[in-house]
């Protein structure tokens, strides 16, 4: 094995536990017999290009312990689209610091970045071991049971809809409906998590809209009317990336990022929740509200799941172990080894970076109800151990008193 230094970076949107993965990489690298120093990229690959690296081995033990439960991306993130002209400068910088081990924590775009860097280094005859560490609240990466960050974001959504549902129920004489929008460009894993909050048919949510199913306006209106008639209010959850039958975003945003992805919360566009609010108000004449939390789902450490923190940290350590053994060109995965009904257990595995880069994993059909506006029991069985126990709130007995 080549003895050299390591470098780690964070890319894309954060999660509540992305720094736990970073801490895992640092802890394992410091103890490694083949890794000398461990550097951090300041603002992702931009830190390599701009020669802005941090010596993470100099951080105190107390800081590294705290890092495991610190939200956002401690190194600073980036959405730089790596171009061919960046390759030579990046490799030059890696050589200057004798970097032989490269770790990137991120989603599918990030896996494409590390795959291309490792491939370029190999073409230039420079031995470089590159391991990807999965991260995304969207939960849409191939080859995983779930991604680090999803359980905590899913709990954020479930808790928000649970508590917001009580508000909507009790304020129904003022606001007849409420719409909660989650992040998630092309996959419905996060809006689906709202169903974990539901205990009875009357509880929120009543309708969930997924990017995997085109938005059927008339079917939606029918579902809204039925829920309102039964419960006196309507709780709706939607993914930001829901689309019309012709494939256009319901949000009507035309702004795109450097990876050509629609920016649903961008200035100049609007949100799916706002559009749905307008449609319901126009059709029924009701007053309602929409809740668009945007990136809060990505950094709410107060709702982080311990399971998620531990698995994210373990992914970081596993990445270093793989690199020490000569592994490269793969992403660390979490695999569920327990069967339905058993106590949840997981293990770590790998998937080639080329099989993850620039691909997305939608919700499987068996997790979405036939009408396309709720989840199935199979999804609840999948999500329940990830989200964890949710609080049970008191409900008054609503019975008219007699004089």
How many whole angstroms separate alpha carbon 123 and alpha carbon 135? 28
**140 in active site:** no
How many whole angstroms separate alpha carbon 278 and alpha carbon 272? 10
Positive or negative: CA dihedral 153, 158, 163, 165: positive
Select which of 27, 109, 112, 138 is catalytic: 138
- Residue 143 contacts residue 335 (beta carbons within 8 Å): no
* Bridging pattern class, strands 53-55 and 35-41: antiparallel
**What is residue 349's three-state secondary structure?**
strand
How many whole angstroms separate alpha carbon 199 and alpha carbon 216? 27
- Chain centroid to Cα 117, Å, comes to 24
Q: Which of 101, 50, 44 is nearest to 73 (CA)?
A: 44
Tell me the C-alpha to C-alpha distance, in Å, between residue 288 and each of 10, 62, 190. Answer: 39, 47, 22
- Residue 39 contacts residue 72 (beta carbons within 8 Å): no
**Catalytic residue IDs:** 138
């Amino acid at each position: 094995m080549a003895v050299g230094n390591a470098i780690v970076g964070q890319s894309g949107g954060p999660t509540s536990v992305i720094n736990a993965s970073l801490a895992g990489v640092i802890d394992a690298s410091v103890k490694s017999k083949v890794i000398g120093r461990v550097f951090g990229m300041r603002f992702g690959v931009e830190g390599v290009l701009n020669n802005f690296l941090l010596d993470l081995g100099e951080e105190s033990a107390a800081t590294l312990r705290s890092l495991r439960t610190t939200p956002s991306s401690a190194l600073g993130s980036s959405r730089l689209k790596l171009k061919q002209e960046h390759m030579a400068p990046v490799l030059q910088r890696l050589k200057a610091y004798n970097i032989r081990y490269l770790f990137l924590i991120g989603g599918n775009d990030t896996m494409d970045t590390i795959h291309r860097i490792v491939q370029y280094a190999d073409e230039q005859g420079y031995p470089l071991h590159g391991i990807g560490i999965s991260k995304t609240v969207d939960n849409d990466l191939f080859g995983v049971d779930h991604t680090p960050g999803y359980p905590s974001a899913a709990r954020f959504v479930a808790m928000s809809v649970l508590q917001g549902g009580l508000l909507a129920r009790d304020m129904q004489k003022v606001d007849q409906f409420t719409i909660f929008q989650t992040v998630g460009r092309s996959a419905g894993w996060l809006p689906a998590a709202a169903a974990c909050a539901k205990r009875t048919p009357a509880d929120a949510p009543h309708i969930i809209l997924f990017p995997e199913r085109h938005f059927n306006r008339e079917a939606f209106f029918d579902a809204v009317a039925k829920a309102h008639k039964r419960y006196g209010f309507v709780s709706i959850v939607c993914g930001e990336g829901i689309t019309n039958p012709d494939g256009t975003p319901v949000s009507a945003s035309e702004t795109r990022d450097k990876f050509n992805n629609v920016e649903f919360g961008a200035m100049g566009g609007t949100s799916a929740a706002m559009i749905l609010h307008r449609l319901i108000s126009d059709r029924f004449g009701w007053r309602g509200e929409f809740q668009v939390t945007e990136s809060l789902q990505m950094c709410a450490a107060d709702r982080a799941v311990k399971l998620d923190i531990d698995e994210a940290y373990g992914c970081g350590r596993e990445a270093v172990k793989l690199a020490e053994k000569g592994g490269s060109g793969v992403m660390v995965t979490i695999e569920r080894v327990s069967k339905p009904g058993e106590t949840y257990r997981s293990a770590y595995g790998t998937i080639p970076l080329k099989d993850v880069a620039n691909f997305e994993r939608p919700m499987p059909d068996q997790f979405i109800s036939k009408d396309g506006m709720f989840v199935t029991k199979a999804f609840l069985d999948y999500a329940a151990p990830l989200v964890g126990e949710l609080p049970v709130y008191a409900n008054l007995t609503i019975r008219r008193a007699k004089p």
